[in-house]
Amino acid sequence: MQELAELIRSVPDFPRAGVMFRDVSPLLASAGGFARCIDALAEPWQGQGVQAVGGIEARGFIFGAALALRLQAGFVPLRKPGKLPPPVASVGYQLEYGSDRLEVQRDALKPGERVLLLDDVLATGGTLAAAAALVGQVGAELVGAGVVIELAVLGGRSRWPVELPLHSLLRY
């Protein structure tokens, strides 16, 4: 994982003073690094019967779509409000700086379908918890989640259901 960590750029005081932003752009720009990242994200889920990967807007789309291809699963985008045609299911959640909503098309996931969630960063856990609730709302079966980066100091893992696996590649 050190090799992947070296491809993450730390940007101090972005988007505001006191925040250390972890930029995945250099990782995405490295063909070899991106491929190794997707391999590492896929490894715990091989043979687990994942049928769909739910990628969380926006960078979760990039990693999630590549992971879905590697796992031979479908890809389903979980989007911000107003981006998907109806009918949609929707869940609201709190962020460290406000509130937001996630939506999924109601027919994108089938009842009982085995879904893996994927995002780039786990911070306070609100977005991932909302995504988990959204999968449950449409009747699919949540099998776990993966993230590229976990900002452990922010405690987001505590909002994740302990009975479900949550794999992070890099922890800060």
Residue numbers annotated as active site: 59, 96
Q: How far apart are CA 49 and CA 4, in angstroms?
A: 27
Q: Taking the alpha carbons of 77, 123, 150, 160 in that order, is the dihedral positive or negative? A: negative
Q: Give the count of beta carbons closer than 10 Å to the beta carbon of residue 105.
A: 17
Tokens of 72: 């031979």
First to last CA, the chain: 12
Handedness of CA 92, 112, 143, 60 (dihedral sign): negative
Separation between Cα atoms, residue 63 and residue 152, nearest integer Å: 20
Q: Using alpha carbons, select from 29, 31, 72, 63 the residue that is nearest to residue 147.
A: 63
